[in-house]
């Protein structure tokens, strides 16, 4: 099966491709000849994921999936959440987002947080949502150079280092995105059975 992955984020593409079974082929927006800034106007990850998938499905007329991810910090009532990309402003600067988040957590003992990914699959005109959650905590300071976004300050439960100090395979062993992708793949694996019944 071939699906268009409705994202402009190269890191997401690398992470997703590294966990795909051979039976599933992903086409990127660039490979599909689509060059747009995908809208994320809503106040939930679910609504944004649905909008991204619908936008790209209309443009390419093919089966596709999108995902929206947020970092939800307990002591900040779930912030930055759906605003994770633009937390420090429309410049979408990962470094500025991290500075702002660490600043808002200064002096707070509760560092617990989680990454949450919502995938929206549009398959033959039907919509399917899959969620992946990675619990963890916010480090006292940024540490590590790999990964992207908030990876330098996120330590998943079960680890003592940030995502930004992990290989792709190690991050995938904990990650929100991999968990949501696992659910998507498991769903696709049920399809032949469904079609027979
Ligand atoms: P799309 O084209 O898929 O929309 P995006 O980069 O805008 O790509 P999101 O809106 O889902 O992606 O991301 C929200 C923010 O959360 C953004 O600042 C990302 O850098 C960050 N983020 C998403 N997944 C992450 C991960 O696995 N590790 C660290 N930061 C992540």
- In this predicted model, what pLDDT tens digit does every residue of 48-98 receive, in sequence order? 999 999 999 999 999 999 999 999 999 999 999 999 999 999 999 999 999
**pLDDT attached to residue 197:** 38
Closest CA to 80 of 91, 90, 69: 69
Q: Where are the beta strands (DSSP E) in the chain?
A: 2-5, 25-28, 64-73, 79-81, 112-123, 126-138, 154-156
* 10 has pLDDT over 60: yes
- For range 22-37, the mean pLDDT: 93
Closest residue to atom 23 of ligand 1, CA basis: 69
Distance in Å, CA 61 to ligand 1 centroid: 25
Q: What spacing in Å lies between the alpha carbon of 182 and ligand 1's midpoint?
A: 18
- The CA distance from 60 to 164, in Å, is 34
Residue 196: which pLDDT band, with cuts at 50, 70 and 90? Answer: very low
Mean pLDDT of the chain: 95
Do 16 and 26 contact (CB within 8 A), yes or no? yes
Query: Are 75 and 107 within 8 A, CB to CB?
Result: no
Return the pLDDT at 195: 45
The rounded Å distance from CA 87 to ligand 1 centre is 11
Q: Looking at domain 2-189, which CATH architecture does it have?
A: Alpha-Beta Complex (3.90)
Going from the Cα of 17 to the center of ligand 1, the distance in angstroms, rounded, reads 16
Instruction: Tell me the CA end-to-end span of the chain in Å, nearest whole number.
Output: 20
In contact, 180 and 119? CB cutoff 8 Å: yes
Write the pLDDT tens digit of every residue in 144-189.
999 999 999 999 999 999 999 999 999 999 999 999 999 999 999 9
State the closest ligand 1 atom to the C-alpha of 163, by its place in the atom list counted from 1. Answer: 28
**Residue holding tokens 């100090």?**
165
Arithmetic mean of pLDDT, 108-135: 97
Q: Which atom of ligand 1 is nearest to the CA of 171?
A: 27
pLDDT value, residue 58: 94
pLDDT at 38: 87
Which residue in 103, 152, 159, 119 sits closest to 136, CA to CA?
A: 159
Residue 97 C-beta-side C-alpha neighbours within 13 Å: 23
Sequence-ordered alpha helix ranges (H) in 18-159: 45-60, 94-105
Around ligand 1, the residues with Cβ closer than 6 Å are: 7-9, 12, 38, 40, 68-69, 84-85, 94, 97, 115, 147-151, 163, 177
Give the residue numbers annotated as catalytic, written as ranges.
68
């Amino acid at each position: 099966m071939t699906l268009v992955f409705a994202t402009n984020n190269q890191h997401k593409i690398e992470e997703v491709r590294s966990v795909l079974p051979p039976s599933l082929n992903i086409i990127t927006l660039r490979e599909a000849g689509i060059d747009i800034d995908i809208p994320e106007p809503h106040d939930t990850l679910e609504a944004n994921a649905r909008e991204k998938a619908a936008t790209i499905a209309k443009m390419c007329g093919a089966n596709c999936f999108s995902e929206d991810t947020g970092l939800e910090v307990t002591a900040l009532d779930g912030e930055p959440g759906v605003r994770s990309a633009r937390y420090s402003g429309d410049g979408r600067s990962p470094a500025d987002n991290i500075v702002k988040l660490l600043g808002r957590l200064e002096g707070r003992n509760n560092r617990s947080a989680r990454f949450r990914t919502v995938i929206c699959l549009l398959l033959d005109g039907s919509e399917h949502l899959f969620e992946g959650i990675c619990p963890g905590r916010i480090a006292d300071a940024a540490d590590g150079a790999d990964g992207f976004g908030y990876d330098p300050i996120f330590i998943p439960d079960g680890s003592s280092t940030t995502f930004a100090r992990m290989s792709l395979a190690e991050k995938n062993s904990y990650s929100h995105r991999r968990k949501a992708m696992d659910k998507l793949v498991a769903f696709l694996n049920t399809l032949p059975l469904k079609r027979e019944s």
